[in-house]
C-alpha cells in the first residue's frame, strides 16, 4: 500500500478540518496531499505541471497571456442532471423534481467508488470562501480533489486558500466536498448532496458543474437548504447595478436558465446614452432580508464560468475584454498560433482552425459537428470584467429593487411584464418555462418547466421552496418588484423580434421607472405591460408591428398552457403553498374574462 506524502505543511490548526482530510485520504489513498494556499507560486506550479502532462495547452503569450486550453473527456462535457442526487432522510424532502438517494444507498453504491480512487494522484485540499471577505453572509467550503484543473478553477471562482481558512478559524461547520475523477466512466459517475450534513460527493466527472463543487453544488443545492433553515435565499441569478443619466442607482437580480443570456445581460453595454452598468455577479446570488425591509444581495463567487459560443465583441464586449489574459478555456477550438476560437466569436477563414474541441484535426467543409463544443466555457476572474466594480466585494451586499425571471420562449411570453404583487411574482417565477440549451445533457429546444431557473439546483422539495419564497416576501416591508422578460420571442418568419444585448437597457429602463413610480402600465390578464410608448425606442429600427407582436398577449394560448402549468404544480401535492394555487385560479379567470 502506497504511503501518502504530505507535500506541504497544513496552513491551519483547525482540528475538524485536519481530521477530515486524514480520514478521506485513508479511504481514497492518494500518493500525495497538497494544501492549496492561493498563492501565485502555487498557480505557476500547477499550470506548469498541467502543461507538462498535456492536460493544459499553453496559449500564445502575446495574444492570450497566462491563459490555457483544457479539453474534457468527450463523454464529460455538461452537467449530468440524471446522475445528480439529493440525499435526505425522507424521499419527500427532496421532492419530485430531484433525484433522491438514501444515505444507505449512497454508502453502498457511491462511497465504494472512492476507495483507492486517488491512487498515484495528488489530493488537493482546496479551502474556499463563498462571498466577500469579512461578510457575515459568506460561507466556507473545502473541496478535496484529485484534479489540478479543479484546483486552478476554484482559485479563480472563489476566494481560495488562506482567506478561506482565516474566515473559518477553529469552526467545525463547513461544507465538505469530495471529488475524484475516478476513471471518468459515465457508468460510475455520481454527484450526491447531503444538505443536513453539508456534504457533497462527486466522482467520475471533471466537467465544471459536476467537479467545481463550490458552484452549483455548494452555492445553490447546499446553500438553498441552508437558506431555507436560516431565512434567506440562495438563487441562480445575476446581480446588476444600473445608474440612470440622472445619477440614480438601482440593483436588480435576474434568473435565467444556463445559456439563456444571463452573462450577456450581466455585462451589457447600454445602447441608451448616459446609462452606466455595474456587473456585481453573473450567475449566483445570495439574498438576505435587511433591517430596512429590503433584500440585500451578495455574489458568493469571485469569477465567471461562462459559455463561450455566441460570445463576441458584438454580443458581449465586456466579456471579450475580460478574456484578454489569465483565462482557462475549456473545450473550445484551437486555431493557428495557439489561439482559441468558438462559433459566434468572429468571422475567420476556417482554414485557420487546426483542431476542434476534442483535439481532432479540423478539415474545413468536412466537419459534421461544431469546432467548439456548444457548452464550451471560459473561467476568468470577475475583476477583469470592465463593468465590474467594487460592489461585488462589499461585505454588506447591495439592496435589490427588482427581480427578473425569464427564459427562452419563441412564442407566448411577451418582451416584459410586471407581476401584480410579490405573491404573484412568486407564481410567475414558479411557473416559468424555457426551451432547453446545451448547458445540460439531453435534447436541445425542448420546453420544460424551470421554476426560478432553479429546477436542477434546488437542494430540497420545491414545494417547500415556493413556500419559503412566500415567507421571505411576507417579512419584507419594502419587497422588490418582480418582472418577467423574454428576449427570444419570434415572429411569423421564425426570426427573433427583439435585438437584445445592449438594447435590453430599454426594457430595464422601463422596469426601473416602474420601481420609481414614474412609468405607467396597462392591465393585461397575465400582468402589467408597457404602453405602446413605454419602451424607449430612440434610435432603434423596430417596426410598430414588431413591437405589437413583442407585447401581445394571446389569452387563448395562455389558457392552453395553463393546464400543463397546473399539472406541474400538482406534482408537489400538499407541499405546494395554497397561495400559488390561488394565483393560478386568478390567472385562469382573468384569461377567460379577457376572451369574453
Among 307-311, 432-436, 460-464, the range scoring the smallest mean pLDDT is 432-436
501 labeled binding residue: yes
pLDDT bin (cut points 50, 70, 90) of residue 380 is very high
502 labeled binding residue: yes
The CATH topology of domain 234-304+390-594 is: Phosphoenolpyruvate Carboxykinase; domain 3 (3.90.228)
514 labeled binding residue: no
575 labeled binding residue: no
Q: Across the chain, which distance is largest between two alpha carbons, in Å?
A: 79
Mean pLDDT for the chain overall = 95
Q: Euclidean distance between the first and final Cα of the chain, in Å?
A: 79
* 260 is an active site residue: yes
- The predicted structure's pLDDT at residue 363: 81
What is the per-residue pLDDT across 233-263, written as a single tens digit (0 to 9) for each?
Answer: 999 999 999 999 999 999 999 999 876 888 8
Segment 555-574 mean pLDDT: 96
CA 243 to chain centre: 24
Q: Is the separation of the CB atoms in 303 and 380 below 8 Å?
A: yes
Q: At residue 438, does pLDDT exceed 60?
A: no
What is the per-residue pLDDT across 327-366, written as a single tens digit (0 to 9) for each?
Answer: 999 999 999 999 999 999 988 776 789 999 999 998 876 6
- The predicted structure's pLDDT at residue 72: 94
- The predicted structure's pLDDT at residue 2: 57
Segment 316-325 mean pLDDT: 96
302 labeled binding residue: no
CATH no. for 5-56+78-231: 3.40.449.10
Domains 234-304+390-594 and 306-379 share a fold: no
Among 125-134, 443-452, 550-559, the range scoring the smallest mean pLDDT is 443-452
| Other residues' Cβ atoms within 10 Å of the Cβ of residue 183 | 12
What is the per-residue pLDDT across 104-129, written as a single tens digit (0 to 9) for each?
Answer: 999 999 999 999 999 999 999 999 99
Q: At residue 61, does pLDDT exceed 50?
A: yes
Catalytic pick from 217, 260, 285, 385? 260
**The cell 445592449 sits on which residue?**
502
- Gap between the Cα atoms of 301 and 124, Å rounded: 20
| Other residues' Cβ atoms within 10 Å of the Cβ of residue 401 | 21
* Domain range summary for the chain, segments of one domain joined by +: 5-56+78-231, 234-304+390-594, 306-379
The SS3 of residue 117 is coil
- The predicted structure's pLDDT at residue 260: 80
504 labeled binding residue: yes
Segment 303-317 mean pLDDT: 93
pLDDT bin (cut points 50, 70, 90) of residue 78 is confident
Q: At residue 439, does pLDDT exceed 60?
A: no
| Other residues' Cβ atoms within 10 Å of the Cβ of residue 416 | 28
- Gap between the Cα atoms of 127 and 112, Å rounded: 25
**The cell 494522484 sits on which residue?**
121
Phi, psi of 175 (to 5 degrees): -75, 125
| Separate counts of helices (H) and strands (E) for the chain | 16, 32
- Gap between the Cα atoms of 242 and 509, Å rounded: 9
Output the CA–CA distances (angstroms, integers) from residue 281 to 121, 203, 298, in the order listed.
34, 28, 8
CATH no. for 306-379: 2.170.8.10
258 labeled binding residue: yes
Segment 52-68 mean pLDDT: 97
* Burial environment of residue 318 by CB neighbours within 10 A (0 to 12, 13 to 18, 19 or more): buried
Higher-pLDDT residue of 389 and 147 is 147
pLDDT bin (cut points 50, 70, 90) of residue 138 is very high
Q: At residue 146, does pLDDT exceed 70?
A: yes
207 labeled binding residue: yes
397 labeled binding residue: no
- The predicted structure's pLDDT at residue 475: 98
What is the per-residue pLDDT across 496-532, written as a single tens digit (0 to 9) for each?
Answer: 999 999 999 999 999 999 999 999 999 999 999 999 8
pLDDT bin (cut points 50, 70, 90) of residue 1 is very low
H helices of 262-339, in order, are 262-266, 317-322
49 labeled binding residue: no
Phi, psi of 481 (to 5 degrees): -75, 150
pLDDT bin (cut points 50, 70, 90) of residue 69 is very high
183 labeled binding residue: no
364 labeled binding residue: no
- The predicted structure's pLDDT at residue 164: 98
Higher-pLDDT residue of 438 and 185 is 185
What is the per-residue pLDDT across 366-379, written as a single tens digit (0 to 9) for each?
Answer: 667 899 999 999 99
- Gap between the Cα atoms of 157 and 160, Å rounded: 8
283 labeled binding residue: yes
pLDDT bin (cut points 50, 70, 90) of residue 442 is low
- The predicted structure's pLDDT at residue 366: 66
Q: Is the separation of the CB atoms in 405 and 482 below 8 Å?
A: yes
Amino acid at each position: 500500500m502506497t504511503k501518502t506524502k504530505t507535500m506541504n505543511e497544513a496552513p491551519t490548526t483547525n482540528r475538524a478540518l485536519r481530521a477530515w482530510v486524514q480520514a478521506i485520504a485513508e479511504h481514497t489513498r492518494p500518493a500525495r496531499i497538497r494544501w492549496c494556499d492561493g498563492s501565485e507560486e502555487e498557480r505557476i506550479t500547477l499550470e506548469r505541471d498541467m502543461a507538462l502532462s498535456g492536460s493544459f495547452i499553453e496559449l500564445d503569450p502575446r495574444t492570450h497571456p497566462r491563459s490555457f486550453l483544457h479539453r474534457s473527456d468527450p463523454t464529460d462535457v455538461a452537467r449530468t442532471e440524471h446522475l445528480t442526487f439529493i440525499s435526505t432522510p425522507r424521499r419527500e424532502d427532496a421532492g419530485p423534481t430531484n433525484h433522491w438517494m438514501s444515505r444507505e444507498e449512497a454508502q453502498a453504491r457511491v462511497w465504494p467508488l472512492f476507495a483507492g480512487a486517488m491512487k498515484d494522484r495528488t489530493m488537493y485540499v482546496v479551502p474556499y470562501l463563498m462571498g466577500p471577505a469579512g461578510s457575515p453572509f459568506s460561507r466556507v467550503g473545502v473541496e478535496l480533489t484529485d484534479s489540478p484543473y479543479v484546483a486552478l478553477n476554484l482559485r479563480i471562482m472563489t476566494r481560495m486558500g488562506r482567506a478561506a481558512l482565516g474566515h473559518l478559524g477553529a469552526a467545525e461547520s463547513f461544507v465538505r466536498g469530495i471529488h475524484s475523477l475516478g476513471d471518468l466512466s459515465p457508468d460510475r459517475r455520481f454527484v450526491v448532496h447531503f444538505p443536513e450534513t453539508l456534504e457533497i460527493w462527486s466522482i467520475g466527472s471533471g466537467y465544471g458543474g459536476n467537479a467545481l463543487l463550490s458552484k452549483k453544488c455548494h452555492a445553490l443545492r447546499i446553500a438553498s437548504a441552508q437558506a431555507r433553515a436560516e431565512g434567506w435565499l440562495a438563487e441562480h441569478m445575476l446581480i446588476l447595478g444600473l445608474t440612470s443619466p440622472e445619477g440614480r442607482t438601482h440593483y436588480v437580480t435576474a434568473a435565467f436558465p444556463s445559456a439563456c443570456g444571463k452573462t450577456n445581460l450581466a455585462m451589457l453595454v447600454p445602447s441608451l446614452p448616459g446609462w452606466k452598468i455595474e456587473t456585481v455577479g453573473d450567475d449566483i446570488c445570495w439574498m438576505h432580508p435587511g433591517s430596512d425591509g429590503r433584500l440585500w444581495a451578495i455574489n458568493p463567487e469571485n469569477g465567471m464560468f461562462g459559455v463561450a459560443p455566441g460570445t463576441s465583441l458584438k454580443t458581449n464586449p465586456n466579456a471579450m475584454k475580460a478574456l484578454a489574459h489569465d483565462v482557462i478555456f475549456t473545450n473550445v477550438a484551437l486555431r493557428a498560433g495557439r489561439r482559441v476560437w468558438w462559433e459566434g466569436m468572429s468571422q475567420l477563414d476556417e482554414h485557420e482552425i487546426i483542431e476542434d474541441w476534442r483535439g481532432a484535426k479540423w478539415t474545413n467543409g468536412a466537419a459534421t459537428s461544431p469546432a467548439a463544443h456548444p457548452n464550451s466555457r471560459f473561467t476568468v476572474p470577475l475583476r477583469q470584467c470592465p463593468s465590474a466594480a467594487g460592489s461585488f466585494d462589499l461585505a454588506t451586499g447591495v439592496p435589490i429593487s427588482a427581480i427578473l425571471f425569464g427564459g427562452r420562449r419563441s412564442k407566448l411570453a411577451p418582451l416584459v411584464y410586471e407581476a401584480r404583487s410579490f405573491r404573484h411574482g412568486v407564481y410567475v417565477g414558479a411557473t416559468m418555462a424555457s426551451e432547453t440549451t446545451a448547458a445540460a445533457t439531453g435534447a436541445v429546444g425542448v420546453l420544460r418547466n424551470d421554476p426560478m431557473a432553479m429546477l436542477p439546483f434546488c437542494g430540497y422539495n420545491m414545494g417547500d421552496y415556493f413556500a419559503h419564497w412566500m415567507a421571505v416576501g411576507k417579512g419584507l416591508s419594502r419587497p422588490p418588484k418582480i418582472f418577467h422578460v423574454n428576449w427570444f420571442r419570434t415572429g411569423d418568419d421564425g426570426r427573433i423580434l427583439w435585438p437584445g444585448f445592449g438594447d435590453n437597457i430599454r426594457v430595464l429602463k422601463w422596469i426601473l421607472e416602474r420601481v420609481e413610480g414614474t412609468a405607467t402600465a396597462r392591465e393585461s390578464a397575465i400582468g402589467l405591460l408597457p404602453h405602446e410608448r413605454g419602451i424607449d425606442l430612440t434610435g432603434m429600427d423596430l417596426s410598430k408591428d414588431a413591437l405589437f407582436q413583442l407585447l401581445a398577449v394571446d389569452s387563448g394560448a395562455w389558457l392552453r398552457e395553463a393546464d400543463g402549468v397546473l399539472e406541474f404544480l400538482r406534482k408537489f401535492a400538499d407541499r405546494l403553498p395554497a397561495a400559488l394555487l390561488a394565483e393560478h385560479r386568478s390567472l385562469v379567470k382573468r384569461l377567460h374574462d379577457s376572451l369574453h
